[in-house]
């Protein structure tokens, strides 16, 4: 499931950003900033390591 989340997240984020800019520029910027933070948190929590350690491969 982690792999599916990491694969789908950028596509969903891009669609939300485009939709936000279609509504207004303020909404688009807000979605970009908040969504970027949430996407970073998602990547940090689903690092795919499975061992709890740091995987700098």
What percentage of residues in the chain have a pLDDT greater than 90?
49
Provide mean pLDDT across the span 13-30.
94
Buried b or exposed e, range 1-23, using 16+ CB within 10 angstroms:
eeeeeeeebeeebeebbeebeee
Distance (Å, whole) CA 57 – CA 55: 6
pTM confidence score:
0.72
Mean pLDDT over 21-25 rounds to 95
| Residue 1 DSSP code | -
Name the pLDDT band for 55 (thresholds 50, 70, 90).
low
pLDDT band at 57 (very low <50, low <70, confident <90, very high): low
pLDDT tier at 5, thresholds 50, 70, 90: confident
């Amino acid at each position: 499931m982690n792999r599916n989340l990491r694969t789908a997240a950028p596509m969903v984020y891009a669609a939300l950003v485009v939709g936000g800019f279609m509504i207004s520029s303020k909404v688009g910027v807000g979605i970009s900033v908040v969504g970027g933070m949430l996407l970073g948190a998602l990547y940090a929590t689903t690092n795919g390591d499975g061992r709890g350690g740091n995987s700098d491969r």
